[in-house]
Copies of this chain bind each other. A is one copy, B any other.
Amino acid sequence: MTFSVAATATAATAAAMATIVPPPAPTATRTHESRAAEPVTGRCAGCSARSKGLCGALTTGDLPDLSAASRPLDLLSATPVVMEGEEATAVFTVMSGMLKLYKTLPDGRQQITGFATAGDVIGLAVGTGYAYTAETVTASTVCRMSRTALHRLMERHPAVQGRLLAMTSVELSAAQDQILLLGCKTAMERVSSFLLALSRRSRPLADGTPSVFLPMPKVDIGAYLGLRPETLSRVLRKLEEAGAITRLSNDRIRIENPAALEATA
A interface, CB within 8 angstroms of B: 8, 12, 15-16, 19-23, 25, 88, 103, 105, 109-111, 113, 124-128, 131-132, 147, 150-152, 154-155, 158, 161-162, 164-166, 168-173, 175-180, 182-185, 223, 226
Contact = CB atoms under 8 A, between A and B. Distances in A.
B126 A12 contact: yes
A20 B19 CA distance: 21
A111 B184 CA distance: 7
B124 A22 contact: no
A133 to B, nearest CB: 12
A178 B103 CA distance: 11
Nearest to A128: B19
Contact of A127 (B19, B111, B125): B19
Contacts of A15: 126-128
Please tell me how many copies of the chain the complex holds. Answer: 2
B164 A226 contact: no
A226 B151 contact: no
B226 A182 contact: yes
19 contacts: A15-B127, A15-B128, A19-B126, A19-B127, A20-B164, A22-B154, A103-B176, A105-B185, A126-B170, A132-B176, A161-B161, A161-B165, A165-B168, A168-B172, A172-B172, A175-B176, A175-B179, A182-B182, A184-B226
Contacts of A180: 103, 105, 111, 113
A105 B184 contact: yes
Contact of A155 (B22, B126, B127, B168): B22
Contacts of A168: 165, 168-169, 172
Contacts of A110: 184
* Nearest 7 pairs of A and B residues by beta carbon: A175-B175, A182-B182, A183-B226, A111-B183, A16-B126, A111-B180, A22-B154
Contacts of A88: 19
A185 B77 CA distance: 29
Contacts of A147: 19-20
Contacts of A19: 88, 125-128, 147
Given A19-B88, A20-B124, A103-B177, 19 more contacts: A15-B126, A16-B127, A19-B147, A21-B154, A21-B161, A23-B155, A103-B179, A105-B185, A113-B180, A124-B169, A131-B173, A158-B158, A165-B165, A168-B169, A172-B172, A175-B175, A179-B179, A182-B183, A182-B226
